[in-house]
Amino acid sequence: MRGTFRHLGDADMTRTPRMRRRRFLATAGAVLGVPYFVPASALARRGRPGANDRLVVAHIGVGGMGLGHLQRMTEFRAEGRVQIAAVCDVDQRRVAAALETAGSEVTPYRDYRYICQRTDIDAVVISTPDHWHAVQTVHACQTGKHVYVEKPASVTVREGRAMVDAARAAGCKVQVGAQGRTGWGAYYTCRAIRNGIVGQVDKVTCWHYANPVGGDQPDTPPPPELDWDLWLGPLRYRPFNTAYCPGTFRWFLESGGGQIRDRGAHQFSTILWCMNADGPRDFTVEATGAAPPRGLWDCPVDMRATFQFRDPAWTLVWEQPGEKLGQLEFGNVFWGAQGRRLILEWEGAYKPAEPEAVQFVVPPGGYEPYRTNEYPDDFNKNHMADWFKAIREPDYLPAVDIEIGHRTATLCILANLSYVLGRKLAWDAQGEQVVGDAQANRLLDTPQRYPYCV
């Protein structure tokens, strides 16, 4: 029924301070009368479409980007590719809007655990605030569901590793929503850079506008349509304030991490692809910035982060603001050792500024990057189609597999950590730890509020 929301009511599992993960998931199953452990028949379906060759999907988080993903999913549904089973959000107004988009036959939920417990659902799209990405992805994989999760993958390094481990243990395909990799701009730029259009690249620079200053308003009671405790989830509890949500969570280091973790997740992912640096790479990072002069938002207003990679040696520089070398407000530049350069603007992953990259001809025996091309004129749908391909084909990993998303997020997280600590950090990629810095290593993880934990 439209406007009806399934929820946990007064069940104290959302507030019990010492509930463990399995009980956290199991209690939702007990309420619904379904088991926590996934039956073997459900596990056997992984990698294959549901009934009538359609994936059965659910959407967790349906505001902003989440509603856009839902709209695109209705287009896939019209093509006969998917069935939309459920939508979920902690804000009742957003769920109501999602039902208007998806139709009244879709089941609405406030608590994502009900979706995890449904064995008829093959896959979930997670578009919640960043601090929820890891917990919900891990729980979805533990109950046998493939995941499309928005970027950045996680807010801490340890959370990101937990996401990778959960996906691999369950055999689930997890695509991170850094759509640039399946856009034309990234393809053309990667093809040109990897085949030497500017020679050996020794530096990549990024320009971006500054983080905002704000969060001056007082605390208030949460609006009646919002489950504030469930919105906070893993975060430490604090009174409601409009400075925290909906989209303004982005301007807190704890929950969003600012521009470098938001847009950096796009730019760094594509840069790593172009530089053939997706795998574990040791680096150092040193970041400086200007703290905001007032308000609750604590991300640095201006920021410069310099990463030095080894084997091969190259430098990545993030600057906000930096020298604007294109028409758009953010982008990056690949600098060749002989001074030649190639600019990739954002929304540049889909329409590069440099026509020479588009016109570049791969030499005999050169590198030809793979790009899913089911929806050549719609980078968002193409990225999701790439995820569908990974689900269908057991040996294919999605373009921004969770391991890639985790390593990309690690760059962003460590830049912020360097800024907070005020010193250069040396990263051991294999061990996933900061070399010789016990304090920094303690900050690679943060406590998660029970029972919202991985």
Residues 6+ apart with CB under 8 A from 85: 56, 57, 58, 106, 107, 118, 120, 121
Strands 201-207, 314-320: parallel, antiparallel or unpaired by DSSP?
A: parallel
- The class level of CATH for 12-179 reads alpha beta
Residue 435: pLDDT band with limits 50, 70, 90:
very high
pLDDT, average across residues 250-258: 95
pLDDT at 352 (0 to 100): 58
* Confidence (pTM): 0.89
* Cross-strand pairs, 346: 330
In this structure, are residues 8 and 31 in contact, taking their beta carbons and an 8 Å threshold? yes
% of the chain exceeding 70 in pLDDT: 87
CA-nearest of 220, 265, 280, 222 to 430 is 280
CA-nearest of 435, 403, 153, 415 to 278 is 403
- Please provide the average confidence, as pLDDT, over all residues in the chain: 88
Over residues 319-351, the pLDDT tens digits come to 999 888 888 889 999 999 888 899 988 764 555
CA-nearest of 381, 382, 399, 403 to 390 is 399
231 token code pair: 């919105």
Residue 311: pLDDT band with limits 50, 70, 90:
confident
Alpha carbon distance 194, 278 (integer Å): 13
Alpha carbon distance 241, 118 (integer Å): 34
Residue span(s) of the chain under CATH 3.40.50.720 come to 12-179
- What architecture does CATH give domain 181-364+402-442? 2-Layer Sandwich (3.30)
**Which CA distances in Å does 421 have to 126, 221, 425?**
31, 34, 9
* Cross-strand pairs, 148: 125, 175
Strands 330-336, 283-289: parallel, antiparallel or unpaired by DSSP?
A: unpaired
Residue span(s) of the chain under CATH 3.30.360.10 come to 181-364+402-442
Q: Could you please report the per-residue DSSP string of 183-210?
A: SHHHHHHHHHHHTTTTSSEEEEEEE-PP
Distance of CA 340 to the CA centre of its chain: 33
